[in-house]
Structure 1
Amino acid sequence: MIPLSYHSYRDLPLLAGIASLPDAMRIGLSIDDCVGRLKRHHWAFRRLHQIFVDRLTAEPVYELKMGFSLHAHYCAEHAAVWRKRVAEMREPPLGLDVVPDAALDAFFDEILCAPDTETLLIGLYEHTLPALGEAIRRHMAETNRLVDHPSFRICRFAVIEIEEMVEYGTQCVARLLTEEKRAELASWGELLAQLLRAAGGLDGAVTPEATAWERHFSKTPHVYDGVPQRDERFPDPYNMGVHAEAFLYDDNFPAPPKPLMMYFKRLREIDVPEMMASIITETTGKPWSYQVDMTRQLWDEARHAMMGEVGFVRAGIDWQQFVRVNFTWSLALNAQLTPLERHGVLYFIEQGLMPKTGKRFEWEVGLASGDPFSAMIQDYDWADEVLHARIGRDWYVPQLGGVKEAIAYGDQCWSKVLIDWNSYREQGLTQHENWWPALYREWCRVQGREPDAAVLAYDTSYAAVRADLRELSVSG
């Protein structure tokens, strides 16, 4: 009972406004119950992060690569926050790397091993994320909002992004899944529901159902596929017929069309998440903060690709018709190097982007072009690359002993990568079409400009430029 005489000063909100008195007096979760649920939430975010990253490279649909990049970033950060909260609650050692329940682990294994895109989407966005959202809302409803406010707060923020992920996935499923495929997956969906019941729900908050279950897709352990895949809008992924850097750095050419090449460079950064996913997936024994930083960089590179996409659309250009975006860089690194060597190449390239001839130069080109959107995205791209260089210093450089050694090792690794553009043509994989003239003509048409004959005639191919591929054929 609340004494009738009890009130706040001039009826100001009680308890910092976070709860009413009846709510604050309610008996909520004990520390043990709270920690048990938080550990389950953490495990879900951790496994979701693994699935998003692991399936990204071999996912052919560009939009899904971008979505997986973002959602992996969300899950990495939420898992980090949950780890911190558990550590605040008398839990040394934390035990966060311990599988909380065999049925729950099988549930995530089944989704990781989904045999195709449609099945994966169903598992992620119709089963896992809704179940996680339900579990976190239950925690918010059952815990005491005052005494467990730190947990309540992180739950509230997590629900916002879970809802965003579910909304995205629901739209993807609606557009990609046929009724026939949904009917085919009905029994698998029931298996997932059965596994959750056997685990006592995702959070372990309900009485487990004593039931026999058997793995389906996960009978065969999942193996990471590092070969990049692209959808039908990327018909010539081996095409190295346009050397963007050579055109950008040539002072003989006018600035206004140069953002087209920078939009291509940004869009081409699809291959950086494809490569970074392999580093994250195949690197073991690192603290979770490594996953957080590396996945943030992976997401940034996906953002850069979308910046290029938007740049083309804003310029009135259908990039799907006029641009050939290759995957030769991510393919070569994933196939030819170890995870540490790939990170070395990434760091070496990032260091090359730091001087005035790197990201600052691209920003200056954007300013000089008169295209404010180009200048804006290069401004942010430059800031991101500074952050990425810091991530490299934190996680890659210490493994080599120092900055000088780390750069030398990255240079050495990059030198041994074979991206033989001529062999792709000899194998019949591409004719290295020079798509630049058609793109430039279309841009001039949209802009109402007369094409510059020199720009139109410039041969941007690798064969004509004969440049050092180590210096100019980078993704950044």
Structure 2
Amino acid sequence: MLSYAGIQNPYALGKYSVEKNAKVMQRYRFIHESLLRIAAGHLPAREDWDIKVALGKHLYEDAEAADRLRARITELRTSSAVLNQEPDAALSLLMDELIHARNDLELMVGIYGVIKPALLDAYRSHTATTQQIVDQPTIRMLRSMILDLEDQLSWGEQMIVSLQQSGIYGDNGDQFKAGIASLLAAAGGIDGQQPKTAVLPHRIRSHEPYRIPLKSVRDPRKMGPVTWARTSVLNPPEDPVQRSLLAKMRVRQEEMTAAELIAAVLFSQKNMPWEFYRDLARHLWDEVRHALFGQAALESEGIDWMSRPQYTSDYDVNAPKIPGAQYAWLAIGIEEGAMKRPGKAGEFEFCRDEAKHPLMTQFQDYDWADEVVHANLGRKWSPDLIGEDISFVREIAKNELDHFWTEVRRAQAQWNEGAS
């Protein structure tokens, strides 16, 4: 079709007026933002490494989706004042219950067995039934979200099967899945257009707020024990360059603990501008990607990293602190500090010039670029989190670093003593 730039069905009347479209997209926005917060709250608590990785990726995609929805809603004669409102009491209860998933499988069936399949169906229906000319901006936006959801669900369905086949979980998550599905139905579905009753469901688990754990978790059936000490690889080589290279790979792989710390900040800090949560979702996903840099580098060398002790100090030492201190420690104390030589530049040059390892050279090249972004985010948001200027924040970060290194050195000494 050459006319209408290839747009199909240009004469058909669409399902959505401007007002109705904005109202439905308010629900979409709320769901993505809620899933972002739920994934952040669960990332330190979930055992399976691959689940942690996927939560980091998917919460970033949820943040991007919410950001686009926020922009589109305000284009539809809708005040930005509504963007922080909860559009439906039943939908809010659904999210309150979902965050109280008690294990890996429950969280997976709630997100990837109920909510995201329903989102995908809703977006496909929305793009097909809205007026194809007047609502092209929405159609284009939802198409990109559909692609993300298809990828997420392909992964999620496989993960659910793997967890169910493990035999660890008694009821295969069926009871929790049914409860989440019933709450979604009570909310009138994703778009709120399905039949509702005047009887709101009751709380099941969400009588008390969800509490993020103070210690991060690794799967004890697959991974080594958590530790605050750096443990490198088993039987490191005698050659100092190769030994240092493998240690750098391990340090990258251990950056999951930094992602978990950002998750704690994102989950715990209330009443910040939306851009804060969007930026931290990106920062978090970058740290997960850095952990994957290390994982891929180690696995390319045939090294079993998973059975080794798993370093969790970034999260565990800092978990009791307020979000501002947590973020200042990481983004200012660690990441801004890494801009000074040798720092990140030195790590890149070592992999390129001394170790001559092409894969790690590329990983460190992008790690360095990411850390520049993160230092800028620290300077952008830490003053707002703490309520002081950047010079004062740097003093706080220095004090937090001193406390951190005291704890880590103590753990390292204990580890060295036990290993000798």
User: TM-score, normalized by length of structure 1?
Assistant: 0.80
Match of 1:191 in 2: 179
How far has the Cα of 1:34 moved from its partner? 0.5
CA distance in 2, matches of 1:377, 1:312: 12
How far has the Cα of 1:432 moved from its partner? 5.8
What SS class does the counterpart of residue 265 from structure 1 fall into?
Answer: helix
1:417-428 aligned within 5 A: 417=404, 418-419=406-407, 421-422=409-410
Alignment equivalent of 1:300, drawn from 286, 298, 303: 286
Match of 1:163 in 2: 150
1:71-470 aligned within 5 A: 71-178=58-165, 181=169, 183=171, 185-211=173-199, 213-232=201-220, 233-238=222-227, 240=229, 242=231, 254-321=240-307, 323-335=308-320, 337-346=321-330, 347-368=332-353, 369-397=355-383, 399=386, 401-417=388-404, 418-419=406-407, 421-422=409-410
Which whole-Å deviations, capped at 9, do the CAs of 1:252-295 have from their partners, x for residues lacking one? 97434432111011011111011111111111111111111111
What SS class does the counterpart of residue 217 from structure 1 fall into?
Answer: coil
Q: CA RMSD in A?
A: 2.5
The 1:188–1:406 alpha-carbon spacing in structure 2 relative to 1, beyond 3 Å, is closer
CA contact (8 A) 1:39 1:96 kept: yes
How far has the Cα of 1:115 moved from its partner? 1.5
The 1:222–1:68 alpha-carbon spacing in structure 2 relative to 1, beyond 3 Å, is same
The 1:189–1:350 alpha-carbon spacing in structure 2 relative to 1, beyond 3 Å, is closer
How far has the Cα of 1:242 moved from its partner? 4.3
How far has the Cα of 1:27 moved from its partner? 3.5
Which whole-Å deviations, capped at 9, do the CAs of 1:383-440 have from their partners, x for residues lacking one? 00011111112111455554433322211222234515446877xxx66655xxxxxx
In terms of mean alpha carbon deviation, does 405-414 or 141-150 score higher? 405-414
What residue ranges of structure 2 are gaps of 5+ in the alignment? none
**Corresponding letter in the other structure for 2:367:** D
CA distance in 1, matches of 2:134, 2:230: 63
Which whole-Å deviations, capped at 9, do the CAs of 1:97-128 have from their partners, x for residues lacking one? 22222221111111101122111111011001
The 1:75–1:226 alpha-carbon spacing in structure 2 relative to 1, beyond 3 Å, is farther
CA contact (8 A) 1:58 1:229 kept: yes
CA distance in 1, matches of 2:363, 2:408: 31
Match of 1:438 in 2: none
Could you tell me the percent identity over the aligned residues?
Answer: 27
* Equivalent residue pairs, number: 411
The 1:27–1:68 alpha-carbon spacing in structure 2 relative to 1, beyond 3 Å, is closer
**Corresponding letter in the other structure for 1:96:** L
How far has the Cα of 1:49 moved from its partner? 0.4
Match of 2:27 in 1: 40
CA contact (8 A) 1:362 1:378 kept: yes
What SS class does the counterpart of residue 219 from structure 1 fall into?
Answer: coil
CA distance in 1, matches of 2:412, 2:351: 33
The 1:171–1:256 alpha-carbon spacing in structure 2 relative to 1, beyond 3 Å, is same
Which whole-Å deviations, capped at 9, do the CAs of 1:144-190 have from their partners, x for residues lacking one? 12101111111110011111111111111000125794746434433
CA contact (8 A) 1:197 1:209 kept: no
How far has the Cα of 1:354 moved from its partner? 0.6
CA distance in 2, matches of 1:167, 1:266: 27
**Corresponding letter in the other structure for 2:202:** E
The 1:112–1:381 alpha-carbon spacing in structure 2 relative to 1, beyond 3 Å, is same
**Corresponding letter in the other structure for 2:224:** P
CA contact (8 A) 2:90 2:200 kept: no
CA contact (8 A) 2:232 2:250 kept: no
CA distance in 2, matches of 1:432, 1:64: 34
CA distance in 2, matches of 1:180, 1:261: 34
CA distance in 2, matches of 1:153, 1:300: 26
What residue ranges of structure 1 are gaps of 5+ in the alignment? 1-11, 435-460, 462-476
CA contact (8 A) 1:256 1:371 kept: no
CA distance in 2, matches of 1:400, 1:210: 45
CA contact (8 A) 1:272 1:330 kept: yes
What SS class does the counterpart of residue 319 from structure 1 fall into?
Answer: coil
The 1:182–1:151 alpha-carbon spacing in structure 2 relative to 1, beyond 3 Å, is farther
The 1:224–1:324 alpha-carbon spacing in structure 2 relative to 1, beyond 3 Å, is closer
The 1:300–1:422 alpha-carbon spacing in structure 2 relative to 1, beyond 3 Å, is same
Which whole-Å deviations, capped at 9, do the CAs of 1:437-469 have from their partners, x for residues lacking one? xxxxxxxxxxxxxxxxxxxxxxxx9xxxxxxxx
What SS class does the counterpart of residue 302 from structure 2 fall into?
Answer: coil
CA contact (8 A) 1:309 1:319 kept: yes
**Corresponding letter in the other structure for 1:90:** R
User: TM-score, normalized by length of structure 2?
Assistant: 0.90
CA contact (8 A) 1:49 1:72 kept: yes
Higher Cα radius of gyration: 1
CA contact (8 A) 1:41 1:136 kept: no
Match of 1:6 in 2: none
The 1:82–1:241 alpha-carbon spacing in structure 2 relative to 1, beyond 3 Å, is closer
The 1:364–1:349 alpha-carbon spacing in structure 2 relative to 1, beyond 3 Å, is same
CA contact (8 A) 2:230 2:311 kept: no
**Corresponding letter in the other structure for 1:58:** A
CA contact (8 A) 2:313 2:408 kept: no
